[in-house]
Structure 1
Amino acid sequence: MAQHKGIGDIAPEAVMLAGAGRAILLQLANPAVGYGVARHSSFATDPLKRLHGTLSYIYALTNGTPQQRASVTAQVHKAHRPVTSQRAPDHPAYDAQDPTLQLWVAATLYDSAMLVHREVFGPLPPEDAEALYRDYGILGMALGMPATLWPATTADFADYWNRQVQQLSVDDTIRKVAGELLAARAAPWWIKMLMPVARFLTAGLLPASVRDMFGLAWSPARERALAVFFRAARILVNVLPKRIRHAPMHFYLKRIPG
C-alpha cells in the first residue's frame, strides 16, 4: 500500500513558497491580525521578518528536531504575548493569543499550500487529502489553538473558509503594511530581484475579492502567465533533485538551534 503524503513531505518543496505572500496578505486582511501586525511589528524596517518567521515556524514544526520545534514555538509565543489591544476608534480589538485568530493564521497556511499543491502536483486522493488536512492542524495548535477548533474535515474547512473570506476587509493602514511587504525596500539585493515574481504570484493566487481590496492589478494576460508559471513548475519538480527542491527548508533549519 502506498504511503500517504504527509505535511512533512509537502512542506519542504520550494515551489510551495509560491503561496507564501498569498497566505500573509490573507492574514492581514483579517483586521484583528492586520492591526496587530501594523502596530507591533517592524514592517517598515524589516518587512520580510514575518515571512522569515512563518517559514522557520513551518519548517521546524514539519521537519525539524524536537529542540527546533520547541525553540520556534517558544519564540512565537514570546513575540505574541505583547500583541494585544482593546478596540479603539482607530483600530479593532486584537490579541495574538486569541484562538480564533490562530485558527485563521493556520487556515491561510493550509489553504495556500493546497492551492499551490493542486496546481503543481494535482489533486490528492480523498483519503490522503483528509489525512494531510489533519496534519496541518498542528500549525494552529502549536500557536495555542485548541485542537477542537480546527474544523473536523476538509468539507467543514471549506465552509469555514468561505465564511471568513466574506468577512475580510482592508483599510489604508493594512494596505500600507501589505505594500511594505511587497516592496521589500530594506531587503537584501537577491530578495529584491525575486520580488517582482513574488508580487505577481501573490496577486494571482489571492481570491479576486481580496486582490481588489489590496488594489493589486490583474488581467487576462497575467492569468495566462500564471498558467505558464505552473506548467513550468510541474516540469521542474519532476527533474530537479530533492537537494535543490528542499534547499529553502535546509537553509532555514540551519538557522534554528537544535
Structure 2
Amino acid sequence: MDVKSPRTDVQLAWEGIVLAGAGAAIALQVAHRPVAAGVAQHSNFTADPLGRLRRTLQYIYAVVLPEAQLARTTVANWVSRAHEPVEGTLDGAQYSAADPDTQRWVTSTLYWTAEQVRWRIWGEQHPDDAEQIYRSYAVLGTALGMPKEYWPRDRAAFQQYWEWQTSDLEVTKNARQIMADLFAAESAPAWLRTAMPLAKFLTAGLLPAHIRIQLGLDWDGADSMREDRLWRVLRRTYPRLPTGIRHAPTRFVVTGLTYKGPGTRSG
C-alpha cells in the first residue's frame, strides 16, 4: 500500500487531509490588515462558510488539476470579476484584491498551510520534490495577475519572506470578528457546526503562536499534547486509507466544477 508523500502539487491537491489547514489559512489571510479590511467590506463567507470554501477550492483545483483544465479559464475569469470591486479603505487600511502583494500573501498562506499539513502526515520529503511543489504554487497567484517574479525564487527565499511577513502581521478587530463569526458558523448546516470545535482546535495548533494569541484562541501545554496525539494518529491512519476516501472531497468539488460550473457568489 502506497503511503509515500505526494511528490507534486497535483498529487497534494487531491489529498483531502490538506483541508485541515483551511482555518489556519483564513486566519493568516485576515491577519494581513488589507485582507481583513477587504473581507469585512466585501465578503459573505462568514454567512456562507461552505460556499466560500467551495469557491476557493474550485479555483485551486481548476488551476492545478488536469481533470479540471476545461474550467480553468472560466474560473479564473469568474474570480477576477468577483475581485474587481474589492478595493477601498477601512479603518486606515487600504485594500485591493488586485494588489500583487496581497495576492502573494494569500498564495503564501495556501502553500504554507498545505505544507504544514503535508509534513505532519508524511514527514520530510526529497528536496527536489519539495521545491517542485513549492514552485508550482506560484500559479495560484499568477493566474490572477500576480507577476511571476513576486513569488520567492525558492523555499529558502520563501522562508525569509514568510518570517518577515508574519512578524509584521497585525490582528485587527475586524480579523477577530471574522474568525469568531467563522467558528460560530451560525448559518452553517448542523453537521458543520458540530465539526467547528475540531476545526478551531486544528486552526489554533497550526497557527504561529503570536497570531494565535492575538486572535484570542486559548492554548496551553495540554492542548499541545492533545494536538501531538491527534496528528500521530492521523499520520498512522490517513495514508493507509483507500485512495477513494482520501480523494473524495476533491473529487466532489471537481465533479461539480466540471458538470455544473463555478459558483456565482462573491467572497
TM over 0.5: yes
TM-score, reference length from structure 1: 0.94
* Contact residue 204 and residue 226 of structure 1 kept, 8 A: yes
1:112 shift after superposition: 0.5
CA offsets 1:120-171 (integer angstroms, 9 cap, x no match): 1011111111111111111111121111110001000000000100111012
Distance 2:167 2:51 in 1: 28
Distance 1:11 1:214 in 2: 28
Match of 2:23 among 2, 7, 21: 21
Return 5-14 or 70-79, whichever deviates more.
70-79
* Contact residue 7 and residue 62 of structure 1 kept, 8 A: yes
Distance 2:212 2:197 in 1: 16
Q: 1:236 to 1:4 in 2, by over 3 A?
A: closer
- Structure 2 counterparts to residues 107-256 of structure 1, below 5 A: 107-256=108-257
Corresponding letter in the other structure for 1:22: A
Distance 1:117 1:67 in 2: 28
Corresponding letter in the other structure for 1:83: V
**SS of residue matched to 1:93:** strand
State how many pairs are aligned.
255
* Contact residue 16 and residue 248 of structure 2 kept, 8 A: yes
In the other structure, the counterpart of 1:55 is 57
Distance 1:45 1:126 in 2: 41
TM-score, reference length from structure 2: 0.91
RMSD: 1.7
Q: Give the unaligned 5+ runs of structure 2.
A: 260-267
Distance 1:218 1:3 in 2: 29
* Contact residue 14 and residue 245 of structure 1 kept, 8 A: yes
In the other structure, the counterpart of 2:77 is 74
Return 93-102 or 182-191, whichever deviates more.
182-191
In the other structure, the counterpart of 2:44 is 42
Q: After TM superposition, which residue ranges in structure 1, 4 or more long, deviate above 6 angstroms?
A: none
* Contact residue 68 and residue 254 of structure 2 kept, 8 A: no
Q: Percent identity?
A: 42
Q: Give the unaligned 5+ runs of structure 1.
A: none
* Contact residue 28 and residue 34 of structure 1 kept, 8 A: yes
